[in-house]
Amino acid sequence: MGATDGGLIAMLGLPGGWEWVIILLIVVLLFGGSKIAGVGKSTGKAIREFKDELSGPDGDKPAAPAPDADATSGQSTTS
């Protein structure tokens, strides 16, 4: 059985089309819209926190180097 003939999907019996709509309606009826919205909100917050932790405490921005005192004064220290 080849990977491109769709036989695997037919064997597993995965839902498609209207079946997904019916499943979605059943989930909304069971949990209610506000509960689903809360789950979405908390999932988004968790993803944002995870990304923040991956980027480190200072984010992706490297620390700016301190300006050189000689370069900012316009005067050279060599005589």
CB 28 within 8 A of CB 36: yes
Q: Between residues 28 and 46, which one has the greater pLDDT?
A: 46
Both tokens assigned to 56: 């480190």
Q: Between residues 33 and 79, which one has the greater pLDDT?
A: 33
Domain extents in the chain: 31-56
Both tokens assigned to 18: 């209207």
Give the pTM. 0.42
Q: Average of pLDDT values for 30-54?
A: 91
Residue-by-residue DSSP string for the chain? --TTSSHHHHHHT---THHHHHHHHHHHHHH-HHHHHHHHHHHHHHHHHHHHHHH-TTTTPPPPPPPPHHHHH---S--
